[in-house]
Structure 1
Amino acid sequence: MTGAADNRPSRRKKANAADENAGGERLFDRELEALPPDLRWREWMLRVEAVIFAAAEPVTRETLARVVGKACSIDLLIDDLQQELAGRPYEIVPVAGGWQHRSRPAYADAIRASAAPTRGGGAALSEFESMVLMAIGYFQPITRAELSKIFGKAVSRDTIASLRNAALIASGPRSPTPGAPYTYVTTKHFLSAFDMETLRDLPDIEALEDAGLLSRAAVQEEAMAAVGDDEEE
């Protein structure tokens, strides 16, 4: 009987285990105070890289802060990781308000030639869908009726649905115009798909107009040509 009693966990041990299970966060050591500073920093680097590598979307600063100590500088960690990956065919890049693992552009041809399925591949858009997406990017928030005025032809619900299904646009605030129609705005996935950190990274439309590279009239002409091609097919 004495031996059996000795094998039972004490009430104090049971209480501690219950506290750890209830607390949840105690089971994950963010601070790593038991490690020397250099090993602690190294472990934080590995954690941050693992999270970014595993994530399907760009990882925000707030998300990364959950796996490192409170006094840890996320920016310095990222700098060290970027230097460490300098000789690799992939890198960590700032995009859509966070960070993401990306293969380097120099290896794009090799990746395409391999025909291997890739993570987060962009949706295949028609020329007209691409033009509508560009217009939303520059003029958001914008209604479907306003898009139709830009293109001189009705932008169909199917076109909008295609861009929504590709997670490139989402509903914005309702327009103050009669009927209060929904507007459309681009998403974080839009930024990620086009390697932009924020919408400020869009080429300045006025500069493009001044350079004769783009204008609202050009958008309309190209869109009409694309519509004509689609109808002929």
Structure 2
Amino acid sequence: MAEAVRARRGKGRSDDHRSGDRLFDRKLDHLPPEARWREWMHRVEATIFAASEPVTREVLARVVGKNCSIDLLIDDIREELHGRPYDLVAVAGGWKHLTRPAYADAIRAAVGGSGKTAGLTQLEVLVLMCIGYFQPITRAELSSFFGKEISRDFIGHLRGAGLIASGPRSPTAGAPYTYVTTKEFLLEFGLDTLRDLPDFEALEDAGLLSKDKLLTGDIMPDFSAGQ
């Protein structure tokens, strides 16, 4: 008897949720076009503002409907944010409110460093960069790049920060683990996808990175403080 009552109560809550979802007006056909668009903009911005993680296109479609252009809404919101110290940025497969780089020093002065990358050494950043460009990559290959051993503890630190994860086993002898970057890596470095990494040839042309130096372990003069 008690189980039947709980079942009916549970069913009622489920029905209420579905009913509430049906009652939520996404189309807003009763509003004039300009007012309808403005309300959609507000819904999108509020949803992104309230979220702790990047908000995907699929999530935003829940508040404006699948036939509404999310990209155009984002463009109009960003236009209104022009001149503000923050923006809506495409990152890690969704959109997120982020402060503009010009205010990084002011934020650090007020609250100190933020994010996982704030405490990374130069070597850790360079190892992450190599994994980003050459993934999946083994620890031995990373050690070869840098001309010194990249220890298991070193890799474990980057994994513990959520910036890398284990990839497929390498087809080389012993089938060692490979490593790949994560969604958290994209978020921390402000990238939407790995395609947004700076073009390797452009970095070489700018003198910021040399593949030959990577392969010979001559990328930086001193890593003594790296591990």
Q: TM-score range by the shorter chain?
A: 0.7 to 0.9
Work out whether residues 210 and 219 of structure 2, in 8 Å CA contact, stay in contact via their aligned partners in 1. no
Which range moves more in the overlay, 77-86 or 178-187? 178-187
Which range moves more in the overlay, 194-203 or 132-141? 194-203
Structure 2 letter corresponding to 1:60: T
Secondary structure of 1:221's match? Answer: coil
Deviation at 1:125, TM superposition (A): 0.8
Q: Determine what percentage of the aligned residue pairs are the same residue.
A: 65
Work out whether residues 162 and 184 of structure 2, in 8 Å CA contact, stay in contact via their aligned partners in 1. yes
Deviation at 1:202, TM superposition (A): 2.0
Q: Which whole-Å CA distance do the structure 1 matches of 2:35 and 2:112 have between them?
A: 37
Which of these residues, 165, 178, 187, is aligned with residue 183 of structure 1?
Answer: 178
Partner of residue 158, structure 1: 153
Partner of residue 65, structure 1: 61
Structure 2 letter corresponding to 1:39: A
Which of these residues, 173, 186, 194, is aligned with residue 189 of structure 2?
Answer: 194
Please say if 1:75 is aligned against 2:62: no
Work out whether residues 20 and 27 of structure 1, in 8 Å CA contact, stay in contact via their aligned partners in 2. no
**Which protein shows a greater Rg?**
1
Partner of residue 88, structure 2: 92
Matches within 5 A, 1:110-149: 110-115=106-111, 120=115, 122-149=117-144
Secondary structure of 1:31's match? Answer: coil
Residue 55 to residue 223, structure 1, CA distance change in 2 (3 Å)? farther
Work out whether residues 167 and 180 of structure 2, in 8 Å CA contact, stay in contact via their aligned partners in 1. yes
Deviation at 1:144, TM superposition (A): 1.1
Work out whether residues 32 and 69 of structure 1, in 8 Å CA contact, stay in contact via their aligned partners in 2. no
Partner of residue 42, structure 2: 46
Structure 2 letter corresponding to 1:103: T
Partner of residue 29, structure 1: 25
* TM-score, structure 2 normalization: 0.81
Partner of residue 216, structure 1: 211
Which range moves more in the overlay, 35-44 or 23-32? 23-32
Secondary structure of 2:166's match? Answer: strand
Cα distance per residue 1:61-85 (max 9 Å; x no partner): 1221122123211011101101111
Alpha-carbon RMSD across the aligned residues, in angstroms, is 2.8
Q: Which whole-Å CA distance do the structure 2 matches of 1:116 and 1:133 have between them?
A: 23
Residue 123 to residue 160, structure 1, CA distance change in 2 (3 Å)? farther
Structure 2 letter corresponding to 1:209: E
Which range moves more in the overlay, 30-39 or 183-192? 30-39
Which of these residues, 159, 168, 183, is aligned with residue 163 of structure 2?
Answer: 168
Secondary structure of 1:29's match? Answer: coil
Q: Which whole-Å CA distance do the structure 2 matches of 1:230 and 1:179 have between them?
A: 28
Secondary structure of 2:167's match? Answer: strand
Cα distance per residue 1:90-129 (max 9 Å; x no partner): 11122233211111222222222222686x5644112221
Residue 57 to residue 46, structure 1, CA distance change in 2 (3 Å)? same
In the alignment, structure 2 segments of 5+ residues that lack a partner are 1-11
Structure 1 letter corresponding to 2:222: A
Structure 2 letter corresponding to 1:146: E
Which range moves more in the overlay, 160-169 or 208-217? 208-217
